[in-house]
Amino acid sequence: MGDQNITSHEPPQNWEQLYIEYASLLYNYGCKITSQKSLIEDCVHDVFVNLLKAPQCATTINNPKAYLFKSFRRLLINKLKTDTRSQELVLDRGGEAYQFNIELSSEAYRIIEENNDEQRKKIAEAIRQLSPRQKEAIYLKFYENQSYEEVAGIMKIEKSALYSMIYKSLAQLRRALSPILSTKTSAGYYFSLFASGLLLLV
């Protein structure tokens, strides 16, 4: 699946506009994968330098956000694989070396009762139990609002496999959170927070 063949939802933009709109999003995405901020910055820089070297590319990209996320992710993970100093890599079943960290956001802490530390701990633990790929898929789908096709392209997996991964991830979270879901008027309360990105670290 080529980087530029992801379905378009936006008009073409030049590389400067792309940088203004997406550089910080890529940096935040990278911070979920590694704590090496200088490496993240280098990869963000490299993505846009590559566009600058091929200016016609910036005006022919079908879907800028999905293209940039996919390009950035590939660069960052490849560099992590070759970084022998890194102590934070996790080799997944697909052979990719990375972690993925998502946590409760400050907004989620505000919405959940301030005096209910037990609920916050249970939610945080439920999130920690997910694999890096499960957390990444949830982040891209529910926080970055990418389509299933776009997430599959970014993560280099089949769309059917992504459907299954997200379904199993949400089922796993529902089982883990079932003791506290009953304390709310709606069983889908926390999942509405996931859908709006409020349970993810901004």
Amino acid 94: pLDDT: 54
**Residue carrying structure tokens 């499960």:** 134
Radius of gyration of the chain (CA): 18
Which helix (H) or strand (E) covers residue 125, if one does?
Answer: helix 117-128
Note the pLDDT tens digit of each residue in 64-104.
Answer: 899 999 999 999 988 888 875 555 555 555 555 567 888 76
Is residue 66 domain-shared with residue 137, that is, in the same domain?
no
Closest by CA to 102, choosing from 66, 160, 142, is 142
Is residue 7 domain-shared with residue 63, that is, in the same domain?
yes
Q: Quick one: how far is CA 130 from the chain centroid?
A: 13
Reply yes or no on whether the pLDDT at 180 is more than 80: no
Of residues 38 and 195, which shows the higher confidence score?
A: 38
Backbone angles phi, psi at 70, to 5 degrees: -65, -45
Is residue 113 domain-shared with residue 187, that is, in the same domain?
yes
Amino acid 73: pLDDT: 94
**What average pLDDT does the segment 2-12 reach?**
43
Instruction: Look up the domain containing 69 and give its range.
Output: 3-82
**CATH code: domain of residue 148:** 1.10.10.10
Domain for residue 93, yes or no? Answer: no
The answer to whether 164 touches 139, Cβ cutoff 8 Å, is: no
pLDDT-above-90 percentage for the chain: 31
Domain for residue 90, yes or no? Answer: no
Amino acid 47: pLDDT: 93
**Angle formed at CA 28 by CA 55 and CA 192, multiple of 5 degrees:** 120
Angstrom distance (rounded) from CA 85 to CA 80: 9
Reply yes or no on whether the pLDDT at 3 is more than 80: no
Give, in order, the Cα–Cα distances in Å from 169 to each of 99, 164, 191.
Answer: 16, 8, 12
Reply yes or no on whether the pLDDT at 26 is more than 70: yes
User: Would you give the DSSP letter of residue 8?
Assistant: P
